[in-house]
Amino acid sequence: MSGKAGWKHTEEARIKISAARKGKPVSEIQRRRIREAAQIRMLPIAERFWAKIIKTAAGCWLWAGPVDKDGYGYFFFDGKTDRAHQVAFTLTVGRIPKGLFVLHHCDTPACCRPDHLYAGTAKDNARDREVRGRNGWATGRRIRKII
């Protein structure tokens, strides 16, 4: 599938539509691209996911795929997009418990190393932000109310 947000056609469909608009038959090169795209889609989710990880000397396993404006990686599978650290947690620990979030011990948004991740509450997340000096808008008395 294309990396563009909202793109609903498979690579195969996109190539065929492109060829049809130009009034040309699908070429052998296009057929090969269709086959390659299909093979990538057939890889197991875990294999596709872990192939995008770079292990650093500092100990973090950084996401090498696409990232959002906050530095969190994201991964597309099963028709939806999830944050990479949440997928790593799900693949290694299991489902994220209802009402909990996947937080980082290392404070690195792109890190997907399983032992750097833990499930915590919104209060845990707020406490981590305050301890690490990343309060954002929630400062002073307001943050004490949250905690």
At 134, the pLDDT band (50, 70, 90 cuts) reads confident
Q: 87 and 16 in one domain?
A: no
Decide if 1 contacts 7 (C-beta within 8 A). Answer: yes
DSSP state of 71: S
Decide if 111 contacts 62 (C-beta within 8 A). Answer: yes
Average pLDDT over residues 23-32: 67
Q: Please state, in angstroms and rounded to a whole number, the distance separating the CA atoms of residues 102 and 41.
A: 27
- Nearest Cα to Cα of residue 79 among 14, 13, 6, 17: 6
Q: 66 and 37 in one domain?
A: no
Q: Please state, in angstroms and rounded to a whole number, the distance separating the CA atoms of residues 114 and 101.
A: 14
At 130, the pLDDT band (50, 70, 90 cuts) reads confident
Mean pLDDT of the chain: 80
- Token digits of residue 114: 């399983």
Total domains in the fold of the chain: 2
Q: Please state, in angstroms and rounded to a whole number, the distance separating the CA atoms of residues 97 and 54.
A: 27
Q: 65 and 23 in one domain?
A: no
- Nearest Cα to Cα of residue 67 among 8, 104, 111, 105: 111
| Lowest pLDDT segment from 3-7, 42-46, 63-67 | 3-7
Q: 81 and 15 in one domain?
A: no
The SS3 assignment for 54 reads strand
pLDDT of the residue at 114: 96
Q: 30 and 65 in one domain?
A: no
- Token digits of residue 15: 């190539």
pLDDT of the residue at 140: 52
pTM of the model: 0.65
Host domain of residue 89: 45-146
Which position has the higher pLDDT, 65 or 4? 65
Q: Is pLDDT at 125 greater than 70 in this prediction?
A: yes
pLDDT of the residue at 145: 52
Q: Is pLDDT at 17 greater than 80 in this prediction?
A: no
Share of the chain above pLDDT 70, in %: 69
Q: 113 and 93 in one domain?
A: yes
